[in-house]
């Protein structure tokens, strides 16, 4: 049995606005999208594919949802980019075993986080 048969391959996220989520992830992370009608769009990254589907429900940790966590070498810079692109910081930068991170919601409403192992408080 190959390892690919056991690998994480696809993630789907709810969004209240596909257009806003696409614009945000394109601006901050450089993602490209393929639309499949008005209710779904897909992205393809180096190590995982995924999509956004139209939904009034959102994904947040307060509701028990899984949290997707990005990595960045510069937390302060990516935090500024996220805010500039319309994201909202919902948990300020905090320390945890292994580094620092913060949580944000993208303009479509779902929660994500960014962590770094080399953050210094400026």
* 19-43 pLDDT per residue, tens: 999 999 999 999 999 999 999 999 9
For range 95-100, the mean pLDDT: 93
DSSP 47-66: S-EEEEEE-SS---GGGT--
- CA–CA separation, 75 vs 113, rounded Å? 10
Of 59, 122, 114, nearest to 91 by C-alpha is: 114
- pLDDT at residue number 121: 67
What is the structure's pLDDT at 122?
55
Contact status, residue 89 vs residue 83, Cβ threshold 8 Å: yes
Question: Of the given ranges (5-14, 16-25, 34-43, 51-60), which has the lowest mean pLDDT?
Answer: 5-14
Q: Which CATH architecture has domain 9-116?
A: Roll (3.10)
Listed by start position, the domains of the chain span 9-116
């Amino acid at each position: 049995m190959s390892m690919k048969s056991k690998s994480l391959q696809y993630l789907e996220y709810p969004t209240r606005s596909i257009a806003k989520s696409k614009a945000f992830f394109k601006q901050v992370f450089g993602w490209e999208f393929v639309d499949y009608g008005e209710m779904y769009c897909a992205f393809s990254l180096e190590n995982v594919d995924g999509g956004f589907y139209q939904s009034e429900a959102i994904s947040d940790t307060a509701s028990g949802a899984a949290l997707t966590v990005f990595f960045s070498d510069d937390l302060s810079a990516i935090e500024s980019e996220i805010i500039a692109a319309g994201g909202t910081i919902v948990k300020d930068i905090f320390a945890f075993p292994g580094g620092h991170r913060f949580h944000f919601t993208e303009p479509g409403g779902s929660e994500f986080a960014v962590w770094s192992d080399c953050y210094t408080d400026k």
